[in-house]
């Protein structure tokens, strides 16, 4: 009985081992089959990929090579100089093409371009030095010990006109002292005596004149008259150059750009437009501002601006009439008001179509004597319509002091419009 039981157990063990062997054999066979399949697929894929990558007729690789070559035009010159005509050593050529570009080359090119531009600007500025003359003032006096002393100061002048053996020069009001003697220095140490003609304190401009009799024709031909432009055409970003004394020294130069829109400055009987630049503001620096066409478009000023870090200049368009009056020694007449332009939205519904606003007036002025008050609108002068402050300035420029004019006035008082004319006897403008 016992033997039979053991035989039963033995038989059972033999059967279980056989099943496990068959199971593992089956799994191994399946794994081998899949391994062979995926191996074949991988081999085929590698063959196809290798063929594609190694194909030399693809445009992408040629395009990259051509771009590098066009970025290196100097290589063509090198080949021609070597007499290879593009058929030189292929290995050397590939080495040059694959050589990385030196970033310092671009920097050097940029520096060279800047130097060329800078030299051109300097040459341009110096070419207009013939329109600038040095004026020297000499003042006689005594010191603390009663010894006679002589003091001198130098400033610039802009040549305005040569006519009837007279030279007219525009300079700065603050440099003129009636107690001094003045000489204009031309060339080669030649100097001629100069006299102040007329001054304008509000704009800071003055005109001097000198006698040219006896000077050599060659010297006279070397004195060039300044050309005036239109400051109304100035745009933000325009390049401007300054000559005269912009850096505080005679014949110094400066250049920069117009940095913002002009500011309207209303002063007695006139208006100026004040431009700012990115040039440094030098306390004792003054001069003429020019555009790239060689035209005078303004004069450096230190008045009327609270920003002392930037250089400012007055536009020439509003100053032309004043300069002409100074040249002609006109005893200029004015009303003594601070005029301002009026927005066009003011006029609809009113009995007037144009005019300038009286924002202020001075005591004992011609306007006050004619009973013009703050808030009045000046509509006309002797029947000529006044549409802007520039119109007002240009019309008044035709009259000298003590002239009597008829001024059209509109007064909006307590919603009762009053239109009429008043007689104004112009006073002297200082």
Rounded to the nearest angstrom, the gap between the alpha carbon of residue 424 and the centroid of all alpha carbons in its chain is 43
Q: What's the confidence (pLDDT) of residue 21?
A: 57
pLDDT mean over 61-89 = 38
pLDDT at 100 over 50: yes
Q: What's the confidence (pLDDT) of residue 37?
A: 56
With a CB cutoff of 8 Å and minimum separation 6, the contacts of 71 are: 101
With a CB cutoff of 8 Å and minimum separation 6, the contacts of 150 are: 138, 139, 140, 141
pLDDT at 95 over 60: no
Q: What share of the chain is helix, strand, coil (3-state, %, to 5)?
A: 35, 35, 30
Cα angle 14, 18, 20 (rounded to 5 degrees) comes to 120
The model's pTM is 0.69
Burial track 400-418 (b if 16+ CB lie within 10 A, e otherwise): eeeeebebbbbebeeeeee
With a CB cutoff of 8 Å and minimum separation 6, the contacts of 52 are: none
pLDDT mean over 301-305 = 87
Q: What's the confidence (pLDDT) of residue 160?
A: 94
pLDDT at 17 over 60: no
pLDDT greater at residue 108 or residue 114: 114
Rounded to the nearest angstrom, the gap between the alpha carbon of residue 235 and the centroid of all alpha carbons in its chain is 8
With a CB cutoff of 8 Å and minimum separation 6, the contacts of 279 are: 242, 246, 254, 255, 256, 310, 311
Least confident of 115-129, 314-328, 345-359: 115-129
Q: What's the confidence (pLDDT) of residue 189?
A: 78
CA neighbor of 338 nearest in space, from 406, 282, 392, 276:
392
Burial track 149-179 (b if 16+ CB lie within 10 A, e otherwise): eeeeeebbbbbbeeeeeebbbbbbbebbeee
pLDDT mean over 77-84 = 43
Q: Cα(first)–Cα(last) distance of the chain, in Å?
A: 151
Q: How sure is the predictor about 86, in pLDDT bands with cuts at 50, 70 and 90?
A: very low
Least confident of 41-50, 82-91, 169-178, 316-325: 82-91
- pLDDT tens per residue, range 138-153: 877 777 788 888 778 8
Q: How sure is the predictor about 404, in pLDDT bands with cuts at 50, 70 and 90?
A: very high
Q: What's the confidence (pLDDT) of residue 92?
A: 54
Q: What's the confidence (pLDDT) of residue 78?
A: 40
With a CB cutoff of 8 Å and minimum separation 6, the contacts of 182 are: 135, 136, 137, 138, 193, 194, 195, 196, 208
- pLDDT tens per residue, range 24-70: 556 666 666 656 655 665 665 565 555 444 444 444 444 322 222 23
Q: What is the mean pLDDT of the chain?
A: 79
- pLDDT tens per residue, range 187-207: 777 889 999 999 998 899 999
Contact 168, 194 (CB under 8 A): no
What the block records as the tokens of 151 is: 């003091």
What the block records as the tokens of 60 is: 């992408």
336: left (phi over 0), alpha (psi -120 to 50) or beta: left
């Amino acid at each position: 009985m016992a033997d039979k039981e053991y035989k039963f157990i033995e038989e059972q063990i033999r059967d279980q081992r056989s099943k496990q062997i068959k199971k593992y054999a089956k799994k191994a066979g399946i794994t081998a089959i899949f391994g062979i399949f995926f191996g074949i697929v991988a081999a085929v894929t590698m063959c196809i990929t290798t063929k594609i990558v190694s194909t030399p007729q693809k445009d992408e690789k040629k395009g990259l090579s051509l771009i590098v070559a066009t970025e290196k035009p100097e290589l063509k010159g090198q080949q021609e100089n070597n007499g290879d005509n593009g058929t030189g050593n292929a290995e050397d050529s590939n080495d040059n093409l694959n050589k990385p570009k030196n970033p310092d080359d671009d920097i050097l090119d940029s520096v060279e371009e800047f130097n060329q531009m800078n030299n051109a600007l300097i040459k341009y500025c110096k070419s207009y030095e013939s329109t600038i003359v040095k004026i020297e003032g000499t003042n006689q006096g005594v010191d603390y010990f009663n010894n006679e002393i002589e003091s001198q100061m130098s400033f610039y002048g802009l040549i305005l006109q040569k006519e009837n053996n007279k030279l007219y020069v525009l300079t700065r009001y603050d440099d003129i002292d009636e107690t001094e003697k003045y000489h204009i220095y031309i060339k080669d140490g030649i100097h001629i005596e100069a006299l102040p003609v007329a001054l304008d304190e509000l704009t800071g401009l003055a005109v001097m004149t000198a006698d040219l009799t006896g000077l050599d024709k060659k010297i006279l031909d070397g004195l060039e008259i300044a050309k005036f432009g239109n400051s109304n055409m100035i745009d933000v970003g325009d390049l401007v150059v300054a000559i005269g004394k912009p850096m505080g020294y005679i014949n110094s130069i400066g250049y920069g750009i117009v940095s913002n829109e002009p500011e309207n400055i209303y002063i007695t009987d006139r208006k100026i437009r004040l431009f700012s630049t990115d040039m440094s503001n030098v306390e004792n620096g003054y001069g003429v501002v020019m555009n790239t066409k060689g035209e005078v478009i303004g004069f450096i000023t230190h008045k009327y601006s609270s920003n002392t870090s930037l250089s400012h200049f007055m536009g020439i368009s509003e100053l032309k009439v004043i300069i002409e009056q100074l040249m002609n020694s006109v005893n200029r007449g004015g009303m003594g008001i601070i005029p301002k332009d009026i927005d066009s939205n003011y006029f609809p519904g009113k009995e007037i179509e144009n005019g300038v606003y009286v924002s202020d007036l001075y005591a004992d002025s011609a306007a006050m004597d004619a009973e013009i008050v703050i808030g009045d609108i000046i509509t006309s002068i002797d029947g000529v319509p006044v549409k802007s402050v520039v119109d007002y300035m240009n019309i008044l420029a035709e009259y000298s002091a003590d002239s009597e004019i008829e001024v059209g006035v509109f007064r909006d008082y307590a919603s009762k419009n009053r239109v009429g004319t008043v007689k104004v006897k112009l006073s002297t403008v200082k």
